Amino acid sequence: MDLSIAAILAQDGLTSGAIYALLALALVLVFSVTRVIFIPQGEFVAFGAFTMAALQGGKFPTASWLLLGLGAAAFVMELVAIARLPERRSLREVAQAAWQILLLPVLVWGAAQLLPLSNWPMLLQVAFTLAIVVPMGPLVYRIAYQPLASASTLVLLIVSVGVHYALTGIGLLAFGAEGVRTEPFTDLRFEIGALSISGQSLAVLVAALLMILLLYVYFERTLPGKALRATAVNRVGAQIVGIGITQAGRASFLLAAAMGAVCGILIAPFTTIYYDSGFLVGLKGFVAAIIGGLASYPLAAAGSLLVGLLESYASFWASAYKEVIVFTLILPVLLWRSLAAPHHDEEEEA
């Protein structure tokens, strides 16, 4: 391997690492706030890619039907929850529940039916893709996780596996078995000596850095972001001081869905995306999150770059085993964390 090939592989690794960083940060955020290992994270990647491809191809985005269905299911669950309360509820509160849950899915679905989306500029298509996919996050939380918010981590993990298979099956029904690719954001290329850098790779890096910067500003400079951080540090303490745990859970799923959709939009010009492709991408983000202990954002971001570079160089040296090499990385990390963690011997009383 000469220097030029090493530089090209490093460029590919950094681009992939930026994608994995967003997914890893989303996984850490969701786990910190809700104790949910968010296995369905990858499905939002696929939904974002397929929705963007549909808008560019002049087709109706079938993900809007999924959004409408999730909104209707969440609305019914909200009505059942209101009916079970001991005190009598008025029609005003029922209307408020409908306004908060069902209005946005209906508006987005109606806009997808009426607007000439294929003629819009690419940035507006990206914005409409996010408008379709991002609201699915809080709706999935409301339907699958909110009723079990106080359950154990194992139960929440089992629910995550079930949600993953459910969304994968729905994705197959909605999008079909054929893959899609989207148009690149730019065709520019920059020559630095023997190294050629694509403008698309730079767009991915810039978008990932911008998302991370926005997350930093949100958590450090806004009251809702600080409330979310407080919930991640101490759920019980946050609840005592008046921070809504349910609202924090919905906000974390909203951010996770946004980062997943952005990742799908960013990687679709590079590779063909199938209805189940997001699962493999999400698993690599999970490996990076494990490196950070599902608790540290900087370590998760650093682990993402490590995973991206390892995958890139492994594809050159042993392309048939690159996935195995990447996922094997988790074994020494888990072993080191097991040895470094304090152990408490349990003494059985006679």
Looking at residue 350, its pLDDT comes to 39
Domain assignments of the chain as residue spans, ordered by start = 17-275
| Contact call for residues 280 and 180 (beta carbons, < 8 A) | no
pLDDT tens-digit profile of 41-59? 889 999 999 999 999 888 8
User: How far is C-alpha 314 from the geometric centre of its chain's CA atoms?
Assistant: 25
Tokens of 227: 């409330």
pLDDT at 33: 85
Listed in sequence order, the residues at least 6 apart from 67 whose beta carbon sits closer than 8 Å to its beta carbon are 105, 108, 109, 132, 133, 135, 136, 139
> What percent of the chain has pLDDT above 70?
91
Does the pLDDT at position 346 exceed 50?
no
Per-residue pLDDT of 271-315, as tens digits, reads 888 988 888 888 888 888 888 776 677 788 888 888 888 888 888
* Model confidence at 122: pLDDT above 80: yes
Alpha-carbon distances of 34 from 101, 169, 220, 236, 253, rounded to whole Å? 20, 25, 20, 12, 9
With b for 16 or more beta-carbon neighbours within 10 A and e for fewer, the 283-315 pattern comes to: bbbbbbbbbbebeebebbbbbbbbbbbbbbbbb
Of residues 273 and 199, which shows the higher confidence score? 273
Is the confidence at residue 317, as pLDDT, over 60?
yes
Query: DSSP assignment, residue 180?
Result: B
